[in-house]
Amino acid sequence: MSAPANSAVLGPDTLDLLPASVARPAYDRSAMTVGIVHVGVGSFHRAHMAMALDSLMNEGLAADWAICGVGLMPHDANVKAVLQAQDCLYTLTLKHADGRRDSRVIGSIAEYLFAPDDPEEVLRRMADPAVRIVSLTITEGGYNVNGVSGEFDAQNPGIQADLLEGATPSTVFGFVIQALRRRRDNGIPPFTVLSCDNIQGNGDVARRMFTAFADLMDPGLGGWIRETVHFPNSMVDRITPVTQESDIAEARAATGLSEGWPVVSEPYFQWVIQDDFGLGRPPFDRVGAQFVPDVEPYERMKLRLLNASHQGMCYFGYLMGYRFAHEAVGDPLIVALLRRYMVREATPTLLPVPGIDVDEYIDSLIHRFSNSEVRDTLARLCAESSDRIPKWLLPVVHEQLRTGGEIECSAAIVASWARYAEAVDEQGHPIVVVDALREELVGLAQSQRQDPLSFIRNRTLFGDLSEHERFTDAYLRSLADLHSVGARRSLLRLLSDEVDFTDEFDSPIDHDISLAHGAQ
């Protein structure tokens, strides 16, 4: 995340150097005023909300809704350095499956604050009456939910520190609640808290967690927040991979300018937002978003089809030797797994989705996953699984168990995670497991050859799932296959009863496995 040398750097004074093929802000950035404070400025936020605001500003709208980005984590110091060097400008490139590129410079972020440098400035900005929304992309794990109880984890050391009398905040909870307290005490109406994270009912979760923190700090404040602060739910969707060095070089070639952190994403954009704001909101519906009274049908569809399918492809794909999403879905075994999971296991758990044909949506997902230009890595999809599988896949399992529906593919996906978490691939090479619970998960996974249910006995993640015989039977079959014959052949066993994969057999052993499975 650093700008290449020997080239003019992207910034206000170099926009005129951009080629005509690269769009740039058509508005006066000096006339923008901050109306949104966004915590967690990463690639997704910059490809999604910031892009939508930039589009509105290019139409002469929303100049009073510019973004102040806030970083809380140590790595955000580098984000600050890069963005401030470019006056918060950056290039967004949409990568089409046919190889076309659409590049534009985004200008809707007005400033960036690194909270550890000046926490008081962050509080002042959030308490500013001009700020009407505080939005969040703090990851699925950022909401401090206890995995067993589902309640706010008050024992988190950062939370405990922020609750001390007179403490300088360090967590998102400390900053947001202290800012709301200042607004209340000064007679300023509260801002809306808008979660943009991949959690079902993200606004409802945010409401519960932030008010729980407020109750611990000041019960009266917690009650005021419940009565006055709006927490709309939202569903966001745009595949946005981690920026690679090749993306930085490509952005430089397209713009003729150097920059430290361009963004790339797929062309697809979806944003469904509950229309529940206390102090107004930008007209995002003019640039492709949908305002609806109830987000749940859309978010359930997205989380259980798109996000859970990402988990379906990533562990099996990685174990089969693939490293990119498009490589994995280029394999008909992976596609068959995803389609069977989506059609026979996830779809029965969905609610009716107004205006959406679910079969067409499933087809569109396979098409999006296969976009080789995006080059989304399986390592990114495999990361932080302990925050993902319980929220995206396990709700499908529990509902299907309750109704008697199929769970075989879901069980196989959980087994593939458990096998991946052993931190060694099928060739004996190490796997870098990235997860907040890495040490615990790897330890459990590496013990499962002796104790096959050890991984899913983790009640924090799986609850009582290890006690459901129908699930454990399917899980143990897949885990045993993964250990004995590997990822590819285990999928052949799972899927051979419905799809002819004769062309996939790479040895007589594979063929014998399939025939034996079909004879059972």
Assigned domain for 272 exists: yes
Global pTM reads: 0.86
Give CA–CA dist 463/140, Å, rounded.
Answer: 18
How confident is the model at residue 106, as a pLDDT? 98
Instruction: State yes or no: pLDDT of 244 exceeds 60.
Output: yes
d(CA 452, CA 479) in angstroms, rounded, equals: 8
Q: Which of 278, 309, 325 is the last residue of a domain?
A: 278
Q: Which domain holds residue 258?
A: 12-278
512 pLDDT exceeds 50?
A: no
Separation between Cα atoms, residue 229 and residue 192, nearest integer Å: 6
CA distances from 104 to 26, 124, 261, 476, 497 (A): 11, 32, 14, 50, 48
Residue 505 confidence (pLDDT) = 46
Q: Are 492 and 486 in contact (CB under 8 A)?
A: no
Tell me the pLDDT tens digit for each residue of 123-145: 999 999 999 999 999 998 999 99
Is residue 446 assigned to a domain? Answer: yes
Residues 320 and 233 in one domain: no
Q: Is residue 284 part of a domain?
A: no
Same domain, 22 and 166: yes
| CATH for 462 | 1.10.1040.10
pLDDT at 181 over 80: yes
Residue 499: what pLDDT?
60
The mean per-residue pLDDT over the stretch 36-65 comes to 98
Question: What is the band of 2 on the pLDDT scale with cuts at 50, 70, 90?
Answer: low
The 10s digit of each residue's pLDDT in 276-299 is 999 999 999 999 999 999 999 999
Number of independent structural domains in the chain: 2
Residue 213 to residues 75, 223, 301, Cα–Cα distance (Å): 25, 11, 30
Q: Is the pLDDT of residue 516 over 60?
A: no
Where does the pLDDT of residue 496 fall: very low under 50, low under 70, confident under 90, or very high at 90 and above?
confident
The answer to the question of residue 290 being in a domain is no
3-state helix, strand, coil in the chain (%, to 5): 50, 10, 35
Boundary (domain end) residue, out of 278, 306, 326: 278
Task: Kindly state whether residues 186 and 304 are assigned to the same domain.
Answer: no
Residue 498, pLDDT score: 65
Q: Are residues 228 and 197 in the same domain?
A: yes
In this predicted structure, the answer to whether residue 1 has a pLDDT above a threshold of 90 is no
Domain of residue 31, CATH code: 3.40.50.720
Kindly report, residue by residue over 202-239, the tens digit of the pLDDT. 999 999 999 999 999 999 999 999 999 999 999 999 99
Categorize the per-residue pLDDT at 497 as very low, low, confident or very high, splitting at 50, 70 and 90. confident
Q: Mean pLDDT across the chain, nearest whole number?
A: 94
Are the C-beta atoms of residues 218 and 181 closer than 8 Å to each other?
A: yes
Same domain, 251 and 173: yes
Which tens digits make up the pLDDT trace of 148-161?
788 999 999 999 99
Angle at 150 between CA 148 and CA 153, to 5 degrees: 85
